[in-house]
Amino acid sequence: MNNEIFAQFTASAGNGGVASADGNGGAISGGDINSGGNVGNAIAVGNTNMDPQINGGDVSNNTGIGLAADGGTAIADASGGNYNLAFVS
């Protein structure tokens, strides 16, 4: 068995540093939303000789809206470039 001792060296070269990227959702504009004619019940009353009580009933109109702001893709690059000096320690 060989009992030689070898020194360990580390070679280092410059790097590109820190890269950060952010893909936020931004702003959303919903624009005009048309959920129907937004009218109640239509009632036709003919000629009467008295003051009638008219009830059109209840009217309800539900509109569901789903909006999303996807951040998309964020890309960062911390390239070291060319011609960096390397040293051994």
Report pLDDT digits (tens) over 45-58. Answer: 888 888 888 888 88
pLDDT digits (tens, 9 = 90+) for 2-44: 667 666 777 666 666 677 777 776 778 888 887 777 677 888 8
pLDDT exceeds 60 at position 1: no
Report which residue type is found at 37. Answer: G
pLDDT-based confidence at 80, cuts 50/70/90? low
pLDDT of residue 12: 65
Three-class secondary structure assignment of 8-76: CCCEEECCCCCCCCCCCCCCCCCCCCCCCCCCCCCCCCCCCCCCCCCCCCCCCCCCCCCCCCCCCCCCC
